[in-house]
Every structure is written in C-alpha cells, then in structure tokens.
Structure 1
Amino acid sequence: MATTKYKRLDRDDCIFLFVDHQAGLIQLVRDFNPDEFRNNVLALAKVAKYFGAPSILTTSFETGPNGPIVKELPETLPEAPVIRRPGQINAMDNEEFADLVKKSGKKQVIVSGVLTEICVSFPALSLIEQGYEVFVVTDASGTFAEHTREAAHKRMAQQGVQLLNWVAVAAELHRDWRRDIEGFGSIWGDHVPGYWCLMQSYNTAKQGQ
C-alpha cells in the first residue's frame, strides 16, 4: 500500500501570505462570526511574527468596494510588504507579488485570505502548480457560507493543498514546547478560549516550585 510522506511545516522554510483581508471583503464573511474571525486572523499574524517568518500582505482593487487592508495586519507585521494589486483577482497573476514569493526562497507557503474559494483557492492552486508546498489556514480564511467553504476545501485538497487551522500551524512550526513555554504560550493565552487559565495555572505552579 502506497504511503504519502508527511510534509510538516518548517520554521526555516516557510512564508506567510495574507491575501485580501480587506475592510470591505471581510463584511462578506459568514462562515465565522466577526469576533471569532478577527481573533483567528490576528493570531495567525502573531504566529508569523513570533517565528520571524517572512510575510507578504496583499489587497485587490483597494479603490473599489473591497476596501483597504485591515489596519491590524500591517500593525502586527510592520516589516511585511503590502502589494496593492490594481485588479488581478488571483494574487499570483500580479508580477510584483509572485516575484516576492519566489525571491523569498521558501518552499512552503502558508496562505490565508478572503474569500476562501477565490482569493485563497486561486493563488493556492497556482502555487501548487509551480511546485510549492501549500498550507491553507482554514480558520483565518473566510467566505459566504459553510457550503462554499467546503467546496473550496475539497477543490484545494484534491490538488495537494494541506488544510490546517492556525493552532495547528503554530504547533507544527514550534515542534517542542520546551523551546519557549511562556512566549509561545502567550499567543495561545491571548487567542485560544480558556487557555489563559491554563497559563495562569502553569505560572502559579512554577512560582511555587
């Protein structure tokens, strides 16, 4: 029986792409509630920052109804370039954006965005076609409804895209809690419901040792 090799995320060989998290488009997201979606996107941005991985932010047709990029992303990732595409729907059709991905030298691409079946799926499939290992962050990507999300996930998975949520991305990059309990745990404490209590318990126990 044929086996598939486990392609695990490597902190030294990955790049994060935040595609079209724009003030207008985010209002169309209905498969997550607004607070939950905001939490997930910002958590993922913090993960990218924590691991010092390169990131690229991009928007589509900002002067139209899609609106500007949400301010929290460039605030969290101030060193990340923002590519404002004049009209290309597939971010990989934008030469500047595609060149930045290539010049990063990274083989693993972590993608999130709005809308899932368009702004995420199209570049993800283009990246697969070009030989990259592609990981789509399902809970930091949003769309109209659950059924449209599921159709997009199936389409991408059939072409080899791996589907993960943000905590799975974080954990697979970290590999071992002993690398940094407090720093890594602070992201979970801020963004995983209830985890702040676990960190408090840990810190209290540690102080009592």
Structure 2
Amino acid sequence: MLMRADRSTLLVIDIQERLCPALHEAEALVDNSAWLIRVARKLNVPVLVSEQYPKGLGPTVAALQPLLEGVTPVEKVRFSTAREAALLAQPGGEREQFVVCGAETHVCVLQTVLELLEAGRQVFVVEEAVTSRTPANKQLALARMRQAGAQIVSGEMVAFEWMERAGTETFKEISRTLIR
C-alpha cells in the first residue's frame, strides 16, 4: 500500500528536552523528524505531537517547536499515544494512515504502533526518525513492529509517495529545498 498525503497524519512521539540527551543518535532523530514535519506542512498533512510526562521530561525539543506552530502537544503518562483520546480527536486523528517518528522506539513508539494496528490503521515507521537509548532496543522494536504489520520506511519514501508525481510546483519546491 502506498502512503497518501490526503489519508496520512504525521505522528511525532515524545521528542523531549530531558529525554533526548539519553538517546542514541538524538541529533539525527531531531533533524530527521524536523525534515518530516517540513514535508508534511508543505503537503498539508496534519501533524500530531505527544509529550510523555512533560513535568519530568520537559517539552518538545526547542529545535522542533517553530515547525509545530499551531499544534498543541498532548500530554500523556501512558506509554501508548494511541490511547490518548485528546490526541486522536485533533484534526488528522481520524485518518487511516499514520506516519510515525519519535522516541523511544521500544517503548512509546512500539506501544503506539501496536495499538494503531489493532485499531485497523495503516502504520508507517520512519526508520531514521525513531531511536532508543540503545541501538539493540531500536532494532528489536522495529522487527516486532514489522512482524505485527507496520511498514518500516525511509523519509524519502514518505515524501515521494505523498507527492505522487513529478512536474508539479510542490514537487519542484520540495525537491529544491528538502530532498537531500
């Protein structure tokens, strides 16, 4: 199945100030997630954001906040974001396809993905835009999500499938400014 911009939502899970220093390759997580957010915004794909216990882990990292203008992060204490009615009630929460980035791959990302799949959603996890404290936990979680039916994809797969075709002004702009 292809990812479609008009059927997708980008879900950004728990990329937070006090969590990132403990994560393996946190800078890449933030950079790749920022890139996905920019592509989603250019293509009018809704963006949803969660924050795990922000009193303890802090807000979403400062580098992402300017890209998330108008998006209200949903605070949670459950590991699965899919259980947060307030998040899924936001525009985009009703869509059938979820493109997922965030942390930690083996905890909040994994539990969210499994519950979205149980709810009948199509889930695409962007490999370079998820991480854990250890690479081993990330790899185990990606394998488990794949086994459960999630698609493990790259950011460029997302962008090109959302764009669908070349030759449009949007394609030219994204190719010129965002394709690496």
CA deviation after TM superposition for structure 1 residue 37, in Å: 2.9
Q: Note if 1:63 corresponds to 2:55.
A: yes
Aligned 8 A contact 1:54 1:80 in 2:
no
Q: TM-score, normalised by structure 2?
A: 0.91
Structure 1 gaps of 5+ residues are 1-6, 193-209
What is aligned with 1:16? Answer: 10
Give the number of the structure whose residues are more often strand, by fraction: 2
Question: 1:162 corresponds to which residue?
Answer: 151
- How many Å separate the matches in 2 of 1:62 and 1:104? 21
1:194-205 mapped onto 2 (5 Å cutoff): none
Residues 49, 77 of structure 1: 8 Å contact kept: no
Which one scores higher on RCO, CA 8 angstroms, separation ≥ 6?
2
Q: Secondary structure at the match of 1:134?
A: strand
Q: What TM-score does the superposition give when structure 1 sets the normalisation length?
A: 0.79
> Which of 152, 171, 196 is the matching residue for 2:160?
171
CA contact (8 A) 2:116 2:123 kept: yes
Give the % identical residues. Answer: 22
Q: Secondary structure at the match of 2:100?
A: strand
Distance 1:105 1:61 in 2: 24
Supply the distance in 2 between the matched residues of 1:146 and 1:60 (Cα, whole angstroms). 21
Instruction: Name the SS of the counterpart of 1:56 in structure 2.
Output: strand
Higher CA-based Rg: 1
1:112-191 to structure 2, matched below 5 A, reads: 112-180=101-169, 181-185=171-175, 186-188=177-179
Q: Does 1:110 align with 2:108?
A: no
1:75 aligns with 2:66: yes
Equivalent residue for 2:29, pick from 14, 37, 45: 37
Displacement after TM superposition at 1:99 (Å) = 3.1
How many equivalent residue pairs? 178
CA contact (8 A) 2:87 2:93 kept: no
Q: State which of 86, 90, 115 in structure 1 corresponds to 2:80.
A: 90
- Decide whether the 8 Å contact of 1:83 with 1:97 is kept in 2: yes
Change (3 A) 1:35 1:97: closer
In the other structure, the counterpart of 2:40 is: 48
Quote the Cα distance in structure 1 between the aligned partners of 2:21 and 2:168.
Answer: 38
SS at match of 1:12: helix
Match of 1:195 in 2: none
